[in-house]
Amino acid sequence: MPYDGPAGLAPRLGAARRRGADRGAPWSLKVAAWAVVAFLHVPLALIILYAFSAEDKSYVFPPPALTTQWFGVAWQRGDVWAAIRLSFEVAAWSTALALLLGTLAAAALARARFFGRDAISLLLILPIALPGIITGIALRSAYHTLEIPFSFWTIVIGHATFCVVVVYNNAVARLRRMNPNLVEASMDLGADAFQTVRYVVLPQLGSALLAGALLAFALSFDEVIVTTFTAGQQTTLPIWMLQELIRPRQRPVTNVVAVVIIALTFVPILLAYYLTRSDELRAA
Amino acid sequence: MTAAVTLDEVSCVFGHGASAVRAVDGVNLGIESGEFFTLLGPSGSGKTTCLRMIGGFTLPTAGRILIGGDDVTMRPPYARPVNTVFQDYALFPHMSIRDNVAYSLMVRKVAPAERARRADELLELVQLAGVGDRRPAQLSGGQRQRVALARALINQPQVLLLDEPLGALDLKLREQMQSELKALQRQLGITFLFITHDQHEALSMSDRIGVFNVGRLEQVGTPHEVYNAPRTRFVALFVGAANVLDGELARALTGHDSAMLRPERIRAGDAAGARTSGAVAEAQYFGSFTRIKVRAGDALLQADLPDGADRPAPAVGDTVHLHWDTRAVHALAGGHA
Amino acid sequence: MTSALALPAPPRGLRLRTSDLLYTRRGLLLLALLAPPLLWFGVVYLGALFALLANAFFGLDDFTGQVVREFTLRNFVALTEPANLDSARRTVVMAVGVTLACTVLGFPLAYYMARHARGASKALLYIAVMLPLWSSYLVRLYAWKLLLAREGAISWLAAQLHLTWVLDAVLATPAIGGPSLSFSSIGTFIVFVYMWLPFMVLPIMASIERIPGSLIEASGDLGAGPGTTFRRVILPLAMPGVAAGSIFTFSLTLGDYIIPQVIGDSTLYIGQIVYRQQGVAGNIPFAAAFSLVPIAVIGLYLWWAKRQGAFDAL
């Protein structure tokens, strides 16, 4: 809530409020703001348009004709489905691991004060803060040195590592907002530590963990750099996309897959947004 | 009969070395079964920490805590026959009122039907029948307080701890809750351990009071004892207004080195037989009494003179002659506390 | 219901004993909670990272192409070769340029969202900024490949507005131009700005939101016009947000190797060199050494940003 200031100031501020601040934004600011938003979204809209383009040899604009045939063609492409399935499984496992590690870390760091606490939160954020290529190369040479062959799990290990911080942030924010007396009240009423976690802490954490999981899923589903280094010959959807970018095979199919990816990632993001939003409203 | 709660040389020290805070310092306390006992003191005096140690939320750094004769010093809260009403009620926001009240039964695996029945019983006891299906957010502060009470009582604990439960309520509601709590305690016969910093509350509700100051228990006694026979200067000044006299003035007026005199025990009268006289420095009208402050030596004596006396209340600048009964004077131990 | 008095305590099962132990010994609880994540990060992440960076001090045997585990500073000497220095300079210049552009473009939007948008339109704007941030990097890159292509939308738009000559002039400019927009430095620049813009908008918005309304009103009341209020009150208080956003734009640009490869001309950026060295050339030691450059730059930048208060704005 905005601080209203000492009593003497109030009448004069009220006058100022009536005088000028209520004008609303100057139209130039409004235009600038919405122009930037358009800048952000026009390219995405364009892809959706291209997915219906009948032209298959180039990226000519405007598209000569519109058709939905490419959706059918894409549906037939086995390599696309395989890539989607792999991305899905990797994201699912990475999210599960990130949930576990992130929640444990959040539980430890939310309220405790001990030596090294800041260092640990920095450590959790490092995989995302440092450029992906460094994490990627580091993992790859580690696998190489330890003679671990590339596999599904080599990808998951990399993904889980940078997804932890997403879950951690959401969990820590919620834990800090939670009334600490709730845990004490639960124990006072006879619940031991495990029962307290089950009946009081987890329900409180619930939507924050869900939001974190959704974001982690989206992050993993989209990741390409670390994946390139840890996947060997396997193809996740982003890797498939990258190959198409460098050496296009069937442009229209790429367009269709791009649209599908947009749709697939919009959903978890919107859900996560509504989950954390209602949380903030409740806390206010 | 075994005391309900015993504290034996209990201390709680936070931090280490030079910056260590002795929140509770060597406290010895015995609370009788069925008593309404109040821990009274200013913020930071250690009363809350004491309560938390009895409840098991903070572990003492020295000493023993016994409940019903059992040594529970290191036991977690769920292993103690004690329940707590928290200052902010701490109701579980994601559960209904009924589930909140029945929580401790659920944890002990009592059947759902039985749980619901007993929860409703308790809700009736605190005069909240019918709200069982609502959520804590939908209730008012006073209602939530009753739910917290019901939740803590459903277990029939040996001791009920109440951590400044009435602090958030407005005056009218607070007074109402005070008499309700007192009646409830008498009806149930459970030992109540109540915390407050409001001395009026303590005096009106308690069987006995323990007065805390910087981690130490300065006095334990009935409200009457604590008010009329305070052991130390701090207790005298904290529980009600007091004139505390020391040194020369004390010896001259009372014959003790250090003494306390309550303002309402001083009367204004004739010059003959007056203990002391002086000019009125301040006068405030309070309706049922007038509070005057009178110069006596270098001290200001405060006297609360009842209204409706056969003479008009003194005004600033008047000379008054003060009288009091010898028995109204109480010698304080140890001079300066 | 057990009577509260007189019964001896029942034997405590394993779960209760564990619970008691964790309750009375908080250190143990902390250890139990932290052990899995710390083990994971310590072993998997830090282990791999140190192993990589240790490589920076090793060399490559010219004959066998194997890594020779002897301490040498040869890689760091190689860093000072003109081609590498060039690339480092180019990458840093791009990172700075992108950061500036994102700030200039992002600030009006952030300001509008924080100070003027209300209710439904604010929620809409927030989602509108957040969605690109979280949605697929490659898809957004792909979209620009389409836009920037010779036959793509931008060329078409320029033709419609009879501004093709402007486009050609830009493309002919050395250093930023190229054969087509989708293979040029200016194209790379535009795409970088597009990619990281949401990362800049959200922290700035958060910073401005945190400015108490009463400060701005007081400024007006004390006689400052809107421009002065902006310069003297709002801008300084929004700087931590700018610093926070710039951490992302800077760091992400420094390490990226995909955008320059897909959109850029044939000049190399740090990320690309590192990628090639560890890949085709198998020269992990040199790749590791070159990786230290962005790490060092980011480290310095983080230190500067922390002093600007960026960490509080995150």
In tens, the pLDDT along C4-21 reads 443 444 567 888 888 888
- Number of folded domains that form chain B: 2
Interface of C with A in 212-271 (CB under 8 A): 212-214, 216-218, 220-221, 226, 247, 251-252, 254-258, 261-262, 271
Q: Name the one residue in this structure whose structure tokens are 């995302």.
A: A128
Per-residue pLDDT of chain B (337 residues; tens, 9 = 90+): 578 899 999 999 988 888 888 889 899 999 999 999 999 999 888 899 999 999 999 999 999 999 988 999 999 999 999 999 999 999 999 999 999 999 999 999 999 999 999 999 999 999 998 898 999 999 998 899 999 999 999 989 999 999 999 888 888 889 999 999 999 999 999 999 999 999 999 999 999 999 999 999 999 999 999 999 998 889 999 998 888 888 888 888 888 888 888 999 988 888 888 888 889 999 998 888 889 999 877 788 899 988 876 667 788 888 888 888 888 888 887 544 4
Q: Is C4 on the interface with B (CB under 8 A)?
A: yes
Question: Same structural domain for residues B231 and B251?
Answer: no
Q: B289 vs chain A: nearest CA distance in angstroms?
A: 34
Question: Same structural domain for residues A53 and A89?
Answer: no
Give the percent of chain A with pLDDT over 70: 88
Look at residues B237, B252, B275 and tell me which one is the last residue of a structural domain: B237
Query: At C106, is the pLDDT very low, low, confident or very high (cuts 50, 70, 90)?
Result: very high
Within 10 A of A183 (CB to CB), how many other CB atoms are there? 20
Question: Same structural domain for residues A86 and A54?
Answer: no
Among the partner-chain residues C40, C221, C247, the one whose CB lies closest to the CB of A12 is C221
Look at residues B212, B237, B262 and tell me which one is the last residue of a structural domain: B237
Domain spans, chain C:
82-313
Instruction: Quote the domain boundaries for residue B57.
Output: 5-237
pTM score: 0.80
Probe site for chain B from A115, A188, A199, A204 (most B CB atoms < 10 A): A188
Q: Is C274 on the interface with A (CB under 8 A)?
A: yes
Query: At C309, is the pLDDT very low, low, confident or very high (cuts 50, 70, 90)?
Result: low
Helix-, strand-, coil-residue percentages of chain C, each rounded to 5: 75, 0, 25
Question: Is the Cβ pair A224, C137 closer than 8 Å?
Answer: yes
**Calpha distance C72→B298 (Å, rounded):** 86
Q: A103 vs chain B: nearest CA distance in angstroms?
A: 20
Q: Is B16 on the interface with A (CB under 8 A)?
A: no
Question: Is the Cβ pair C125, A37 closer than 8 Å?
Answer: yes
Question: Same structural domain for residues A184 and A127?
Answer: yes
Q: Maximum Cα–Cα distance for chain C, whole Å?
A: 98
Query: At C58, is the pLDDT very low, low, confident or very high (cuts 50, 70, 90)?
Result: confident
pLDDT of B92: 95
Q: Is C138 on the interface with A (CB under 8 A)?
A: yes
**Of the candidates B52, B97, B60, B57, which has an alpha carbon nearest to the alpha carbon of residue B78?**
B57
pLDDT of A155: 92
Question: Same structural domain for residues B68 and B157?
Answer: yes
Question: Is the Cβ pair B88, A184 closer than 8 Å?
Answer: no
Tell me which H or E stretch contains A63: none
Which residues of chain A does C48 touch, with a Cβ-Cβ cutoff of 8 Å? Answer: 135, 138-139, 141-142
| pLDDT above 90: residue A74 | no
Question: Same structural domain for residues A99 and A178?
Answer: yes
**Calpha distance C180→C185 (Å, rounded):** 10
Contact A74, A257 (CB under 8 A): yes
> Could you tell me the CATH number of the domain that includes residue A103?
1.10.3720.10
Question: Same structural domain for residues A58 and A94?
Answer: no
> Could you tell me the CATH number of the domain that includes residue B31?
3.40.50.300
| pLDDT above 90: residue C172 | no
Question: Is the Cβ pair A104, C132 closer than 8 Å?
Answer: no
Architecture of the domain made up of C82-313: Orthogonal Bundle (1.10)
Each residue of A103-124: pLDDT tens digit?
A: 999 999 888 777 778 788 888 8
| pLDDT above 60: residue A3 | no
Q: Is residue A176 part of a domain?
A: yes
**Lowest-confidence pick of B52-61, B325-334, C53-62, C304-313:** C304-313
Question: Same structural domain for residues A57 and A141?
Answer: no
Q: Phi/psi of residue B217, each to 5°?
A: -90, 115
Contact A227, A247 (CB under 8 A): no
Among the partner-chain residues B74, B79, B158, the one whose CB lies closest to the CB of C4 is B158
**Calpha distance B22→B12 (Å, rounded):** 6
Q: Name the one residue in this structure whose structure tokens are 């500036």.
A: C100
pLDDT of C312: 56
Contact C106, C241 (CB under 8 A): no
Q: A186 vs chain B: nearest CA distance in angstroms?
A: 8
ipTM above 0.95, yes or no: no
Instruction: Quote the domain boundaries for residue A41.
Output: 28-67
Q: Is residue A12 part of a domain?
A: no
- Mean pLDDT calculated for residue range C175-202: 84
Q: Is B158 on the interface with C (CB under 8 A)?
A: yes
Look at residues A67, A97, A114 and tell me which one is the last residue of a structural domain: A67
Which residues of chain C does A148 touch, with a Cβ-Cβ cutoff of 8 Å? Answer: none
Question: Same structural domain for residues A139 and A243?
Answer: yes
Among the partner-chain residues A182, A190, A192, the one whose CB lies closest to the CB of B104 is A190
pLDDT of C7: 42
Mean residue pLDDT of chain C comes to 81
> For residue C3, what is the nearest residue in chain B, using CA coordinates?
B156
Look at residues B237, B260, B287 and tell me which one is the last residue of a structural domain: B237
Question: Same structural domain for residues A50 and A156?
Answer: no
Q: Is residue B191 part of a domain?
A: yes
pLDDT of C281: 65
Pairing of strands B243-246, B258-261: antiparallel
- Number of folded domains that form chain A: 2
Question: Same structural domain for residues A203 and A119?
Answer: yes
pLDDT of A91: 94
Question: Same structural domain for residues A46 and A86?
Answer: no
Rg of chain C over CA atoms, in angstroms? 27
Q: Is residue A113 part of a domain?
A: yes
Each residue of C218-257: pLDDT tens digit?
A: 988 888 888 888 888 888 888 888 888 888 888 888 888 8
Q: Is residue A272 part of a domain?
A: yes
pLDDT of B57: 93
Q: How many CB pairs under 8 A join A and C?
A: 272
Question: Same structural domain for residues A35 and A160?
Answer: no
**Lowest-confidence pick of A194-208, C259-273, C300-314:** C300-314
Q: Is residue A16 part of a domain?
A: no
Question: Same structural domain for residues B296 and B202?
Answer: no
**Of the candidates C255, C202, C135, which has an alpha carbon nearest to the alpha carbon of residue A219?**
C135
pLDDT of B84: 95
Across C221-260, b (16+ Cβ under 10 Å) vs e yields beebeeeebeeebbeebbebbbbbbbbbbbbbbbbbbbbb
From edge to edge, which strands make up the β-sheet containing B208-213?
A: B82-85, B159-163, B191-196, B36-40, B208-213, B216-221
Give the percent of chain C with pLDDT over 90: 10
Question: Same structural domain for residues B232 and B245?
Answer: no
Dihedral of the alpha carbons of B166, B171, B177, B178, in degrees to the nearest 10:
80
3-state secondary structure chain B: CCCCEEEEEEEEEECCHHHCEEEEEEEEEEECCCCEEEEECCCCCCHHHHHHHHHCCCCCCEEEEEECCEECCCCCHHHCCEEEECCCCCCCCCCCHHHHHCHHHHHCCCCHHHHHHHHHHHHHHCCCCCCCCCCHHHCCHHHHHHHHHHHHHCCCCCEEEEECCCCCCCHHHHHHHHHHHHHHHHHHCCEEEEEECCHHHHHHHCCEEEEEECCEEEEEECHHHHHHCCCCHHHHHHCCCCEEEEHHHHHHHHCCCEEEECHHHCEEECCCCCCEEEEEEEEEECCCEEEEEEEECCEEEEEEEECCCCCCCCCCCCEEEEECCHHHEEECCCCCC
Query: At A284, is the pLDDT very low, low, confident or very high (cuts 50, 70, 90)?
Result: very low
Question: Same structural domain for residues B209 and B245?
Answer: no
pLDDT of A281: 59
Each residue of A225-273: pLDDT tens digit?
A: 889 888 888 889 889 988 888 888 878 888 888 888 888 888 888 888 8
Task: Give all chains having 3 or more CB-to-CB distances under 8 Å with chain A.
Answer: B, C
Q: Is residue B337 part of a domain?
A: no
Each residue of A130-187: pLDDT tens digit?
A: 888 888 888 888 887 788 888 899 999 999 998 999 899 889 888 988 888 999 999 9
Task: Give all chains having 3 or more CB-to-CB distances under 8 Å with chain C.
Answer: A, B
Question: Same structural domain for residues A156 and A61?
Answer: no
pLDDT of C85: 83
